[in-house]
Amino acid sequence: MGYLADGFNAACPCRMSDVGGLAILPAMFQGSAAARESRSRLANTSSEERAGAMMNVVLSLVMLAAFALVGGAFVLWRRTGEAKQPVLMLILAAIAVINVLIWTLPDAEGNAPVDLVGEEASE
């Protein structure tokens, strides 16, 4: 019985039978065709595109955190009846949403700050 992957022997000398005989494990360590294509596509993107994509991810996470804060504030208020901490959580959620709006809403000329992030990264 062979080892999981050639370069993986020193770190984990497991045999295929030790992990349930999963034949897919060697392919996982080598990377799938989709993963290789994704890595090559990322290598061919400009820093402007990567900065824009990263900013989109950050803004999305901030919005998810704001929704979680609102839900958590409601649950905390219903369970404990306390008002101070849930109100502070709602204020933090409002600040997060306002920050996202500042980044995404365009000015009078039609330029949003989030669009300018990629341009600054290329300079």
User: What's CA 43's distance to the chain center, in Å?
Assistant: 19
pTM above 0.85, yes or no: no
Shared domain check, 52 and 37: no
Quote the domain boundaries for residue 63. 46-122
Q: Does some domain include residue 1?
A: no
Whether 14 is covered by a domain: the verdict is: yes
Which residues, other chains included, contact 7 with Cβ-Cβ below 8 Å and sequence gap of 6+? 29
For residues 97 and 52, membership in a common domain is answered with: yes
pLDDT over 90 (residue 62): yes
Q: How many domains does the structure of the chain reveal?
A: 2
Residue 70 pLDDT > 60: yes
pLDDT value, residue 121: 55
Say whether pLDDT at 26 is over 60.
Answer: no
**Tokens at 65, concatenated:** 């955190």
Q: What is the pLDDT of residues 89-112, one digit of tens each?
A: 999 999 999 999 999 898 888 888
User: Domain check: are 50 and 10 in the same one?
Assistant: no
Four-residue CA torsion sign, 119, 105, 67, 91: positive
**Residue 71: per-residue pLDDT:** 96
Do 24 and 76 share a structural domain?
no
Residue 53 contacts residue 73 (beta carbons within 8 Å): no
